């Protein structure tokens, strides 16, 4: 199976069949890869271009995501979530393999500019990443631990990504891996 390393993650390639609003995704294997007659760099470039076109960015606060998922949420639940400010869900408009958004050129800097802050990224699943404004490193670690516990309960093992988190600096425009050992 063709893949590309990205920090402690692996980028895998899928062929997308779109039928109206429905998608079918087939993971590329060596046979499909050979038929394309492309090198890995060309495949990555094509996949990134197509992914950006087919799966536009969606970023929303935890509160907005909660309301979207649970229209019946009471005011008490919404108020409780509002106490956890500075948390956002990063995905795409279909919430399908939304973790790929971090590969889109310039998107992390655009998010940092919109937030007016550096930020941490915590992989939730192949579909979503959590963005935490960099106001307090201890808070980010605490949120990471909560997310880690939630992943263990709610997200199938095959959809889970790294246990590590990443920090984006808007000054240097760089993403840095923060391993469990560094925390």
Among 36, 54, 72, give the residue marking a domain's end. 54
How far apart CA 64 and CA 60 sit, in angstroms, is 6
DSSP 57: E
* Residue-wise pLDDT tens digits, 12-66: 999 888 888 788 888 888 788 788 888 888 889 999 999 999 999 999 887 787 7
Do 88 and 152 reside in the same domain of the chain?
yes
Do 61 and 50 reside in the same domain of the chain?
no
Do 64 and 38 reside in the same domain of the chain?
no
Do 31 and 102 reside in the same domain of the chain?
no
> Which stretches does DSSP call E strand in 14-94?
14-19, 22-27, 57-61, 87-92
Do 50 and 84 reside in the same domain of the chain?
no
Is residue 176 within 8 Å of 166, Cβ to Cβ? yes
**First CA to last CA across the chain, in angstroms?**
33
* Residue-wise pLDDT tens digits, 134-177: 886 677 777 777 777 766 667 888 888 888 889 999 999 999 99
* Cα dist from 55 to 63, 69, 136, 161, whole Å: 22, 20, 32, 19
Do 140 and 151 reside in the same domain of the chain?
yes
State which residues form the domain around 104. Answer: 57-182
* Residue-wise pLDDT tens digits, 82-100: 335 678 999 999 999 999 9
* Cα dist from 59 to 72, 107, 154, whole Å: 22, 11, 21
Domain count, the chain: 2
């Amino acid at each position: 199976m063709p893949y590309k390393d990205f920090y402690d993650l692996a980028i895998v390639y899928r062929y997308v069949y779109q039928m109206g609003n429905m998608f079918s995704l087939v993971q590329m294997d060596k046979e499909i890869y050979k038929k394309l007659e492309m090198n890995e760099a060309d495949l990555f470039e094509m996949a990134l271009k197509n992914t950006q076109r087919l799966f536009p960015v969606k970023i929303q606060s935890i509160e907005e995501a909660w309301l979207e998922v649970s229209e019946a949420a009471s005011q008490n639940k919404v108020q409780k979530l509002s106490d956890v400010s500075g948390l956002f869900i990063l995905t795409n408009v279909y919430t399908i393999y939304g973790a790929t958004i971090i590969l889109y050129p310039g998107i992390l800097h655009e998010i940092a500019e919109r937030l007016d802050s550096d930020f941490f990224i915590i992989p939730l699943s192949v579909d979503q990443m959590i963005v935490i404004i960099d106001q307090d490193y201890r808070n980010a670690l605490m949120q990471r631990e909560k997310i880690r516990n939630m992943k263990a309960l709610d997200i199938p093992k095959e959809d889970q990504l790294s246990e590590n988190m990443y920090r984006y600096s808007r000054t240097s425009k760089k993403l840095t891996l923060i391993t469990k050992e560094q925390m």
